[in-house]
Chains A and B, each alone.
Chain A
């Protein structure tokens, strides 16, 4: 018997060792690849639907001023309130169905030219599907709105995709440079490769085997380096993973309150008066919980004051017993003698006492002309979803949600040039009302735990008043800024 070193025995035996795997292995690989492809197609679909929902909410606000009936605002309000990820909206369901159908048919078309892997390409394919959808005929009434909005959504979606693609490209270019550093060991082989690749076609495997023999020693070093790098990457990722999900902080905002429509919640005679919104300060505390890297839920408690003015108002004390009172106002005891009228030429007088009033030269105090200010203060408890569009040192985020408002202050004031007097409080204000909120935020991270943010928000008030004359749909616009601390 010959003595052979153990090592050499194994080395020689395993030289050129190859074994064909069973067919089932390829089948399982193929199945996994199919699943991955499905996911790749579905994810952009969800982004698209989410984008559609958000754009509908915005579009509803834009289209609303052009509506002339009262029915539409209420249906618009319902849509807006449902837009926050609520897929029960019939319109969106129909979109779902149609999108799925279209995607099935367009996939076949898309597959032949090229199977897009890069997100940019798949984004373009998705956008072209949008075009197909747009050109499709039969739609229900609301879909015309969707069509009009698809362009806007496309651009936003494309921008998001481009931003994402650029981020990906950055990341992949960083990885590529790393790989380049790795492969510097093998620079001499590159010439060998390029010259061999020139006469390809049928002799690939033979070439590869030749290369293998000369390259084995050099590749082992690269394995070691690459594995070490992968470990480092994992460590970095682990460090980045947020373990601190809660954050809270104070914020403050100037809030401008105004309303759409011409009506008046005070009295019918003020319907045609001009009204102007005013700005107040809101302040409070907000709390947020990070559900995922991109999404977080936030709430808080804020004190917010709203007020608006009705102009061209005439008021005076009148001790006449036949004083006409406004039904929606609960008069203060000291103001029960005050009478208020609109000086607007289009206003409908409630009673004939207006004419008498104007002509009554013996009134104890002369009529004063000024404005009526309705003020109300709330404790606002918002419940919003925050989506991070950009999460770097400077961040951009998108916010949508609802707020509950609990009434705590309520007064109506009359003011003219020289005096201001409180008339009383409105009795047609709901003590609890809701608003739907939408906004975009910019933030700057001082450190991983502290950031400052500025968020312009639009809040559409849903049921502030229980009885209004005319169309009076209040909203508020505020620029919320504050500090956020992570813990």
Chain B
């Protein structure tokens, strides 16, 4: 079945087609949910809501532009709506810092660890970081999306980076200490 056929059947609420759509695109859309959510459970909820919206709105999809891009837009929007309702997105001060250098160990930190750090961020920082760093939006776009100012977006990003940097460097330091200990014990 071609993608076009699949979309066509989904428009008719064909359950098999809907299931296939899910199996094809849920991994990439779930990864988006994980990045933007606080934990796996919330990410699963968001994935559920995103797909319900997708099945509902697929009737409006015209074959213009990337289908996956369309799916991703819906997913990001679904997650944003959830967190927009819950918390304020305004930072207190407006410190800006540009690029932060990070000490990184040769044994690279795993993706799952980094994902965990992102999820631990306060929602406003997490969303801003994802939108800017991982999804490539500008501060202007982010400020309009979230209903804040450009300055707020910049400071949210800076704070997110600071927190992440701290966590990474702590982790790095911990692993160095552990390696030294192991080395010491072996040679003792």
- The residue of chain A having its C-beta at the shortest distance from the C-beta of B74 within the complex is A226
A1-B104, A26-B19 are contacts. A180–B62 as well, Cβ < 8 Å? yes
Contact B111 A14 (CB under 8 A): yes
Q: Give A5 to B101 CA distance when docked, in angstroms.
A: 5
A186 contacts the other chain (CB 8 A): yes
- The residue of chain A having its C-beta at the shortest distance from the C-beta of B15 within the complex is A33
A4-B104, A21-B44 are contacts. A183–B62 as well, Cβ < 8 Å? yes
Q: Give A117 to B129 CA distance when docked, in angstroms.
A: 39
* Of the residues B30, B99, B115, contact of A5 by C-beta under 8 Å: B99
Contact A222 B65 (CB under 8 A): yes
Q: Give A212 to B106 CA distance when docked, in angstroms.
A: 30
A334 to chain B, nearest CB (A): 78
Interface residues of A in 4-21 (CB under 8 A from B): 4-7, 9-11, 13-14, 17-21
Contact B104 A226 (CB under 8 A): no
Residues of A within 8 A of B106 (CB): 1-2
Could you say which of B137-145, B148-156, B180-188 contacts chain A?
Answer: B137-145
* Of the residues A6, A116, A185, A211, contact of B161 by C-beta under 8 Å: A6
A29-B51, A211-B68 are contacts. A227–B77 as well, Cβ < 8 Å? yes
B114 contacts the other chain (CB 8 A): yes
Residues of A within 8 A of B105 (CB): 1
Contact B141 A224 (CB under 8 A): yes
Contact B62 A117 (CB under 8 A): no
Q: Give A116 to B11 CA distance when docked, in angstroms.
A: 9
> What is the number of contacts between chain A and chain B, taking CB atoms within 8 Å?
189
Q: Give A224 to B72 CA distance when docked, in angstroms.
A: 12
Q: Give A13 to B111 CA distance when docked, in angstroms.
A: 6
Determine chain B's interface SS by DSSP, over half rule: helix
B99 to chain A, nearest CB (A): 5
Residues of A within 8 A of B27 (CB): 18-21
Interface residues of A in 253-285 (CB under 8 A from B): none
Residues of B within 8 A of A363 (CB): none
A-contact bits for B127-169, CB 8 A (1 contact / 0 none):
0010001111100010011000000000000000100110010
Q: Give A4 to B100 CA distance when docked, in angstroms.
A: 9
- The residue of chain B having its C-beta at the shortest distance from the C-beta of A20 within the complex is B27
Q: Give A211 to B69 CA distance when docked, in angstroms.
A: 9
A172 contacts the other chain (CB 8 A): yes
Contact A5 B100 (CB under 8 A): yes
Contact B66 A32 (CB under 8 A): no
A201 contacts the other chain (CB 8 A): yes
Contact A220 B136 (CB under 8 A): yes
Q: 25 A-B pairs, CB-CB below 8 angstroms?
A: A5-B99, A5-B101, A6-B99, A6-B164, A7-B161, A9-B102, A9-B104, A10-B114, A10-B164, A13-B111, A17-B35, A18-B31, A25-B30, A26-B19, A30-B19, A116-B12, A172-B59, A200-B4, A204-B24, A208-B66, A208-B68, A220-B136, A220-B137, A223-B137, A226-B77
Closest 4 CB pairs of A and B: A200-B2, A186-B65, A183-B64, A18-B27
Known: A3-B104, A183-B65, A215-B65. 11 other contacts (CB 8 A): A6-B164, A17-B35, A115-B14, A117-B13, A186-B66, A190-B65, A208-B67, A211-B68, A212-B68, A217-B136, A222-B69
